[in-house]
C-alpha cells in the first residue's frame, strides 16, 4: 500500500483550529486564488484539465472539462454552485470538510468562479447539516471581513459574493438539477437533460455545479500545477480521494488517500481492521447506490475508478460501508429500498412505483411471507428501472437490488416460504445483471 497523501485537508496539525482563517492562512491558504486572479481563466481551466480531477459527487465527470462547457461569450450571468447536499447513505466526507476545513472549500469555489467569470456563487448545504452549515457560514463571514469575498476580492477589481443556502432534507436535492430547482425556490424535481447546467443551469443561466470535495481539491491544483496533482493516484484516476468509512471496523472515519490503494490493506491500515469476532460479509465502497462487493471481490481490489469497475462496483461518493457477517443481505436491501422509496421524487413511473414495489417485495421476504417469485419480480423491476428515468435515483435502487440478490442468494433463500431453487434464481439473475456497471 502506498503512503498516504493528504492534499485537501489543511491544518490537520492544528487540532481544534483547522477551520479558522488564521490556521488556513498560516498553512498557505488563499495563495492559490491570488495566483488565479493573475491567470487567464482558460489557463485555470487547463490546469484543472491537466490535473485529471474528476467529480467526487458520484459520477466522476472531469471537472476541467465541465468548466470548459460554460459559454465564454454569454450575456447571461454565470453561476458556481457547490453541492454540499451529501445525503448518500454512508457518505460524510463533505461534512468533514465543511466542519474542519471550510476555507479550502471557499477558495475552491472562488477559483472556479474566476475560471468561468462568475460573480455570484452558492453553497447548497444539506438541511440536516445545520452545525456544518454554521461552520461554513462563519468561515464565509471571516472571508468577507478580510476582503477575500465581496467587492474587489483580495484587492483586485474582481467582485464575488458567496451565499450559503440550506436544503430542507431531501436526498433528491443532491441531484444537480433537483438542487438547482430547489435553489430557485421550487421542489427538488430533477430536470430532463440536456440541456446540462453548464449551458442552462441556475435560472437557466450557465452554471458550474461541483461537489464540495471536488472544489476542495482545486486550490492545491492551482498552487502546485495540474501536472503535480496528476503525479498522485493511478494513470486514469488522478489525485487523492476522501473515503468515509463506517461499519464494524475499529477506526471509522474519513481518510484521504491516493487513488489506487488496495482495498483490504486500506481496511487494515486505515479502518483498523474489523471488530473482534466479526467477519467480512462485503463492502459497499462508494455510498449506498453502488453494487456491494463480496470478500473475494474486495481482495486485491484497487480503490480507483477503473479498479472498482473491474470488480463490478464504483467509486461513487466514497461512502465506504463495511458489512459484517452478522448482518443479513435481506435487511441491507430492505433498509435501502425503504430509503429510496421514501426519497423518490415521483416524477418517473419506473422509479416512483418500482422503489416502493421492491420495498414491499423484500419486506414480504423479511417477514417470512415472500416466495421465489418475489425475487424474480425484484430483478425484473430493477431491469425496468435502470437507465430509464430522468435521474439516476432509479439506478441507485436497481443496482444494489440486483447486486445483493446476486451475491447473497442464500440469505434470501433462507427466508423465502417454500424454499428457493438457487439454480433458477441464478438464471434469473443472469437475465438481469446486465444493468450492473461493468468494465467494457
Ligand atoms: C439521486 C442523486 C443524488 C445525488 N446526491 C448528490 C449529493 O448529495 N452531493 C453531490 O455532490 N452530488 C450528488 N449527486 C450527483 C450530482 O447530480 C452531480 O453529478 C454532482 O454534484 C456534480 O459534481 P461533481 O462533478 O463535482 O461530482 C447526486 C446524484 C443523484 C442522481
Ligand atoms: S428517477 Fe426517481 S427521483 Fe429521479 S426524477 Fe425520476 S422519479 Fe424523481
Q: What is the pLDDT of residues 171-198, one digit of tens each?
A: 999 999 999 999 999 999 999 999 999 9
CB 101 within 8 A of CB 216: yes
Q: What is the pLDDT of residues 250-262, one digit of tens each?
A: 999 999 999 999 9
Q: What is the pLDDT of residue 10?
A: 62
161-166 and 120-125 beta bridge pairing: parallel
Domains of the chain, start order: 21-230 (3.40.50.11540), 240-324 (3.10.20.600), 329-435 (1.20.1440.230)
Find the residues whose C-beta lies inside 6 A of ligand 2.
Answer: 172, 190, 344-348, 351-352, 389-391, 393-394
Give, as one character, the DSSP assignment of residue 62. B
- Output the CA 337–ligand 1 centroid distance in Å: 19
Pocket test for ligand 2, best of 58, 345, 382, 396 (most atoms within 8 A of CB): 345
Mapped onto helix, strand or coil, the DSSP state of residue 28 is coil
Q: What is the pLDDT of residue 313?
A: 97
Q: What is the pLDDT of residue 16?
A: 75
Beta bridge partners of 121: 80, 162
Q: Give the torsion through C-alpha atoms of 399, 405, 407, 412, to 10 deg.
A: 150
Q: What is the pLDDT of residue 224?
A: 96
Ligand nearest 352 Cα, by number?
2
Give, as one character, the DSSP assignment of residue 174. G
Cell reading at 222 = 492551482
Cell reading at 157 = 477589481
Going by CA atoms, what residue is nearest to atom 8 of ligand 2?
Answer: 345
Integer Cα distance of 296 and 156 in angstroms: 56
Per run of 10 residues, the mean pLDDT along the chain (length 440 residues) is 52 75 92 98 98 96 98 95 97 96 97 98 97 97 97 97 96 98 98 97 98 97 96 95 97 96 97 98 98 98 97 97 98 98 98 98 97 98 98 98 98 95 97 92
Residue 256: which residues within 8 A CB-CB, separation 6 or more? 4, 5, 6, 7, 8, 9, 240, 241, 242, 243
Going by CA atoms, what residue is nearest to atom 6 of ligand 2?
Answer: 348
List, edge to edge, every strand of the sheet that includes 207-211: 161-166, 120-125, 79-84, 207-211
Going by CA atoms, what residue is nearest to atom 24 of ligand 1?
Answer: 55
Instruction: Give how far Cα 396 sits from Cα of 292, 393, 428, Å.
Output: 12, 5, 20
- Placement of cell 438464471 in the chain: 427
User: Which atom of ligand 2 is closest in space to residue 178's alpha carbon?
Assistant: 5
Long-range contacts of 263-271 (CB under 8 A, 24+ apart): 263/298, 263/299, 263/300, 263/301, 263/302, 263/303, 264/298, 264/299, 264/300, 264/301, 265/1, 266/1, 266/303, 267/298, 267/322, 269/1, 270/243, 270/245, 271/245, 271/320, 271/322
User: Which atom of ligand 1 is closest in space to residue 396's alpha carbon?
Assistant: 1
Q: What is the pLDDT of residue 148?
A: 97
Amino acid at each position: 500500500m502506498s503512503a498516504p497523501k493528504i492534499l485537501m485537508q489543511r491544518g490537520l496539525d492544528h487540532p481544534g483550529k483547522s477551520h479558522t482563517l488564521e490556521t488556513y492562512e498560516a498553512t498557505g491558504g488563499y495563495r492559490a486564488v491570488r495566483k488565479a486572479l493573475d491567470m487567464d481563466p482558460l489557463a485555470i481551466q487547463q490546469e484543472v484539465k491537466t490535473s485529471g480531477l474528476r467529480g467526487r459527487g458520484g459520477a466522476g465527470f472531469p471537472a476541467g472539462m465541465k468548466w470548459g462547457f460554460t459559454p465564454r461569450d454569454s450575456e447571461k450571468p454565470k453561476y458556481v454552485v457547490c453541492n454540499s447536499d451529501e445525503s448518500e447513505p454512508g457518505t460524510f466526507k463533505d461534512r468533514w470538510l465543511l466542519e474542519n476545513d471550510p476555507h479550502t472549500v471557499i477558495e475552491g469555489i472562488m477559483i472556479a468562479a474566476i475560471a468561468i467569470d462568475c460573480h455570484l456563487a452558492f453553497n447548497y448545504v444539506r438541511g440536516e447539516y445545520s452545525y456544518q452549515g454554521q461552520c461554513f457560514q462563519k468561515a464565509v463571514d471571516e472571508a468577507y471581513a478580510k476582503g477575500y469575498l465581496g467587492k474587489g476580492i483580495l484587492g483586485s477589481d474582481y467582485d464575488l459574493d458567496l451565499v450559503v443556502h440550506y436544503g430542507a432534507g431531501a436526498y433528491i436535492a443532491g441531484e444537480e438539477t433537483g438542487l438547482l430547482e430547489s435553489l430557485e425556490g421550487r421542489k427538488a424535481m430533477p430536470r430532463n437533460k440536456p440541456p446540462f447546467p453548464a449551458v442552462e443551469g441556475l435560472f437557466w443561466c450557465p452554471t458550474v455545479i461541483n461537489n464540495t470535495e471536488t472544489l476542495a481539491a482545486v486550490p492545491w491544483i492551482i498552487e502546485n500545477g495540474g501536472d503535480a496533482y496528476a503525479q498522485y493516484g493511478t494513470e486514469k484516476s488522478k489525485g487523492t480521494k476522501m473515503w468515509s468509512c463506517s461499519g464494524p471496523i475499529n477506526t471509522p472515519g474519513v481518510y484521504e488517500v491516493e487513488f489506487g490503494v488496495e482495498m483490504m490493506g486500506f481496511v487494515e491500515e486505515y479502518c483498523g481492521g474489523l471488530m473482534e469476532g466479526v467477519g467480512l460479509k462485503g463492502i459497499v465502497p462508494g455510498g449506498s447506490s453502488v453494487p456491494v462487493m463480496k470478500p473475494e471481490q474486495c481482495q486485491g481490489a484497487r480503490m480507483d475508478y477503473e479498479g472498482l469497475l473491474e470488480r463490478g462496483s464504483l467509486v461513487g461518493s466514497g461512502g465506504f460501508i463495511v458489512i459484517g457477517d452478522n448482518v443479513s443481505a435481506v435487511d441491507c436491501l430492505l433498509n435501502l429500498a425503504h430509503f429510496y422509496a421514501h426519497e423518490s421524487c415521483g416524477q418517473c413511473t419506473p422509479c416512483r412505483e418500482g422503489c416502493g414495489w421492491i420495498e414491499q417485495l423484500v419486506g414480504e421476504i423479511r417477514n417470512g411471507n415472500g416466495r421465489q417469485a418475489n425475487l424474480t419480480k425484484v430483478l425484473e423491476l430493477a431491469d425496468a428501472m435502470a437507465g430509464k428515468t430522468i435521474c439516476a435515483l432509479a439506478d441507485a435502487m436497481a443496482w444494489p437490488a440486483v447486486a445483493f440478490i446476486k451475491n447473497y442468494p442464500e440469505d434470501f433463500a433462507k427466508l423465502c416460504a417454500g424454499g428457493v431453487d438457487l439454480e433458477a434464481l441464478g438464471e434469473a439473475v443472469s437475465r438481469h445483471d446486465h444493468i450492473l456497471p461493468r468494465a467494457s
